């Protein structure tokens, strides 16, 4: 019960907008709940949607409940695919996946994972992430791709911005109530020791086929891709935060739910209030994730064209939107100032006229002018 699968239900329940989604998506398992149901849970709230309370059948499907079936990579595909968890695409189109797809039918799937390398000619999801049948699946970076303790100072600065966009740190960098959730829900690694343990375990697993040096360098390259992605992402987060801070973006209706305002909250996923924040959360959820996870799955194309490329493209889009919004705000302010000047000028003219009318001798002069005008009109008629 120490792996992330065992707490999958908890992990998605702590997301800030889970409560706002249609119940059918969650408890009804037509959306997030369809995969996260495998996590341990009690019966509370399951009186209406009571199917799928257990989690073993997520991998060992019903009727057959076969270990042979659960050992094949396709058993992971149902949940680990698509927009938010594209590991199947990363694996299946990598060289490792190609070996499985072309040779896997000849492997002995009845053999336990502890003896997999005697039959397999390439790694599977289970061989790497459930080595020797260990069900406590855990990785160093996890889903959110963060560790709280960071020895690299430059990365630590960007990491602070990343954590603010998760609502884990407030705008001043202090822990929020969410900070107390990320550890127990295993959404982040709190210390370097906690991060290093699964890393060393993975290096040992890779060592079954590769040298330790090769494995370590390859995984460190994945770390560096996350570092590069965080630099780009953090800059975009700060851009959006500045728009809120300067009052250019309106305060959202759910501002009381934002622990890090003026920083945006990407853990709201698609429930954002502006298009630029929608771009930001897609940048984080889809492209940043592919940048580092594709590297760990040895998939160059996914990393380049489904991760890094779109990440940079979205950063440009956010910068352009920032310039446009600021230009519009500046123009609106200028127009407002001119309107104030015109109104003030009109008021001053009226005040001047009123002052002249009240000046000494004005009444007599006005009377003389009126008499002269009438006399001229009478002469014309005559």
Q: For residue 190, what is the domain's CATH number?
A: 1.20.850.10
Domain end, chosen from 328, 350, 376, is at 328
More confident residue, 7 or 194: 194
Model pLDDT, residue 33: 87
Report yes or no on 270 lying in a domain.
yes
Please tell me whether residues 24 and 147 are part of one structural domain: no
Whole-model pTM? 0.86
Please tell me whether residues 222 and 313 are part of one structural domain: yes
Reading phi first (left if > 0) and then psi (alpha if -120 to 50, else beta), residue 186 is in: left
> Is residue 148 pLDDT above 80, yes or no?
yes
> What is the rounded average pLDDT of the residues 196-211?
96
> Is residue 348 pLDDT above 70, yes or no?
no
> What is the rounded average pLDDT of the residues 213-218?
97
Model pLDDT, residue 139: 95
Report yes or no on 71 lying in a domain.
no
User: Comparing 224-228, 250-254, 338-342, which segment has the lowest mean pLDDT?
Assistant: 338-342
What's the whole-number average pLDDT of the chain? 87
pLDDT band for position 42 (50/70/90)? Answer: low
Report yes or no on 42 lying in a domain.
yes
Model pLDDT, residue 117: 86
Overall domain count for the chain: 2
Model pLDDT, residue 342: 58
Domain end, chosen from 31, 58, 85, is at 58
pLDDT band for position 81 (50/70/90)? Answer: very high
User: Between vectors from CA 105 to CA 102 and to CA 108, what angle results, nearest 5°?
Assistant: 130
> Is residue 371 pLDDT above 60, yes or no?
no
Model pLDDT, residue 340: 64
d(Cα 176, Cα 39) in Å, to the nearest integer?
A: 25
Model pLDDT, residue 372: 44
List pLDDT tens digits, range 286-314: 999 999 999 999 999 999 999 999 999 99
pLDDT band for position 134 (50/70/90)? Answer: very high
Please tell me whether residues 30 and 148 are part of one structural domain: no
Please tell me whether residues 174 and 41 are part of one structural domain: no
> Is residue 112 pLDDT above 70, yes or no?
yes
Please tell me whether residues 188 and 315 are part of one structural domain: yes
Report yes or no on 83 lying in a domain.
no
Handedness of CA 278, 284, 285, 291 (dihedral sign): positive
For residue 133, CA distances in Å to 67, 115, 361 come to 10, 10, 108
More confident residue, 108 or 52: 108
> What is the rounded average pLDDT of the residues 59-74?
92
More confident residue, 182 or 101: 101
Report yes or no on 378 lying in a domain.
no
Report yes or no on 70 lying in a domain.
no
User: Comparing 98-107, 217-226, 315-324, 354-363, which segment has the lowest mean pLDDT?
Assistant: 354-363
Model pLDDT, residue 329: 96
Please tell me whether residues 170 and 263 are part of one structural domain: yes
Please tell me whether residues 157 and 33 are part of one structural domain: no
Please tell me whether residues 43 and 169 are part of one structural domain: no
Model pLDDT, residue 377: 43
Model pLDDT, residue 54: 55
Report yes or no on 68 lying in a domain.
no
Report yes or no on 382 lying in a domain.
no
pLDDT band for position 344 (50/70/90)? Answer: low
Domain end, chosen from 41, 58, 75, is at 58
Residue 153 burial (10 A CB sphere; 0-12, 13-18, 19+): exposed
Residue 253 structural domain: 138-328
């Amino acid at each position: 019960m120490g792996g992330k699968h065992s707490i999958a239900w908890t992990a998605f329940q702590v997301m800030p907008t889970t409560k706002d989604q249609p119940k059918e998506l969650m408890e009804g398992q037509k959306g997030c709940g369809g995969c996260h149901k495998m996590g341990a849970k009690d019966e509370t709230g399951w009186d209406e949607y009571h199917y799928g309370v257990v989690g073993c059948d997520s991998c060992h499907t019903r009727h057959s409940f076969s270990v042979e079936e659960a050992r094949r990579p396709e058993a992971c595909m149902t949940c680990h695919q698509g927009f938010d968890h594209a590991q199947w695409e990363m694996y299946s189109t990598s060289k490792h996946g190609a070996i499985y797809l072309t040779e896997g039918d000849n492997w002995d799937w009845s053999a336990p994972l502890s003896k997999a390398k005697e039959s397999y000619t390439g790694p599977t999801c289970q061989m790497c992430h459930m080595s020797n049948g260990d069900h406590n699946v855990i990785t160093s970076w996890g889903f959110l791709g963060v560790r709280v303790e960071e020895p690299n100072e430059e990365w630590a600065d960007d990491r602070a911005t990343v954590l603010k966009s998760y609502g884990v740190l407030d705008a001043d960098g202090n822990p929020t109530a969410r900070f107390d959730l990320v550890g127990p829900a295993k959404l982040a690694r709190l210390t370097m020791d906690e991060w290093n343990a699964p890393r060393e375990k993975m290096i040992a697993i890779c060592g079954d086929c590769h040298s330790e040096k090769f494995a370590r360098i390859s995984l460190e390259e994945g770390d560096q891709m996350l570092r590069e992605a965080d630099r780009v992402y953090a800059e975009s987060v700060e851009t959006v935060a500045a728009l809120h801070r300067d009052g250019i973006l309106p305060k959202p209706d759910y501002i009381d739910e934002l622990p890090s305002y003026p920083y945006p909250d990407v853990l709201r996923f698609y429930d954002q209030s502006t298009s630029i924040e929608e771009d930001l959360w897609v940048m984080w959820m889809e492209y940043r994730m592919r940048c580092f996870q594709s590297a760990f799955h040895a998939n160059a194309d996914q990393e380049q064209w489904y991760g890094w490329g779109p990440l940079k493209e979205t950063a440009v889009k956010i910068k352009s939107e920032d310039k446009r919004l600021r230009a519009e705000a500046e123009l609106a302010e200028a127009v407002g100032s001119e309107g104030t000047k015109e109104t003030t000028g009109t008021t001053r003219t009226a005040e001047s006229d009123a002052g002249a009318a009240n000046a000494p001798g004005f009444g007599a002069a006005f009377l003389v002018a009126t008499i002269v005008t009438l006399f001229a009109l009478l002469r014309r008629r005559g």
